[in-house]
Amino acid sequence: MTLPVSHPPSRQAGLSILEMLVAMAIGLVITAAIGYLFMGSLGTFRTQDDSARLQENGRFAMDMLGRDIAQAGYADITPVYTDPKTEFVGTPISGENGVVAARAAERKAGTDYLRLSFDGTADCVGGAVATNPVVNEYYINADNQLMCAGNGGGGGAQVLAEGVEDMQLIYGVDNNGDRAVDQYTATPANWGLVITAQVCLLLHSPNTGVAAQAQQYQDCAGNLQPADTRLRRILRVTHQLRNRGV
């Protein structure tokens, strides 16, 4: 009877240097691919987030300005026949074009200033106004913030929107009393004839490095500005003073 030949147990053979190098190369390629995808996703997220914040700030700022411009000149006339008030008392709208006189210590040079007034009980920062009219002042400060200061008890000027680089206004003037705009000007000779206001806001994203490469941009006047890597957007809307127009 022939006994089976016994074989020694096989051992796991180690990897050769060549196999290790190939495995490391494959690992590095996979790691680089994952890193590339991660960086691309992060860049997309940052762009979308900054774009959303840019739109949100712009929409809120323009809505706030539009609401107050439309309300400018509103008169709270009571039905009581003994009340002698028949129209708004004050200047509904006025401003400064580029020059810095009102709020000079806070304003950014070259930006416009807007002052709106109407009968009401609260100013733009929620402060209670005891005696009419409400007076709201809008301007850009040195930190590129849209500010509003009211004449109520709200505690002074407050930030309405971040990243507002510029605000420029031109006004529609009715020279012949037909309730239609005859000319647009940045410096009306008679604020009592203004029936519309066109607001231009230039906004930028919170972060740099969002754009793929540095690029020039236009300001509200159409002038090219130095290139950088922020996102920017211009909003331009014409608002009617409802208490002045048709």
pLDDT tens readout for residues 36-79: 666 655 556 566 677 778 888 889 999 999 999 999 999 988 77
Q: Could you tell me the pTM of the whole model?
A: 0.78
Average pLDDT over residues 140-149: 94
Q: Are strands 232-240 and 215-218 parallel, antiparallel or unpaired?
A: unpaired
Q: Write the CA distances from 243 to 92, 129, 189, 217, 219, integer angstroms.
A: 9, 21, 20, 37, 31
Q: Which amino acid is at 20?
A: M
Among candidate residues 138, 113, 111, the one with its CA nearest the CA of residue 123? 138
What is the Cα–Cα distance from 58 to 233, expressed in whole angstroms? 8
Least confident of 60-64, 97-101, 180-184, 185-189: 97-101
Sign of the alpha-carbon torsion through 40, 41, 42, 44: positive
**Each residue's pLDDT tens digit, 81-108:** 777 777 888 899 999 997 778 888 889 9
Provide CB contacts within 8 A for 33, sequence distance 6+: none
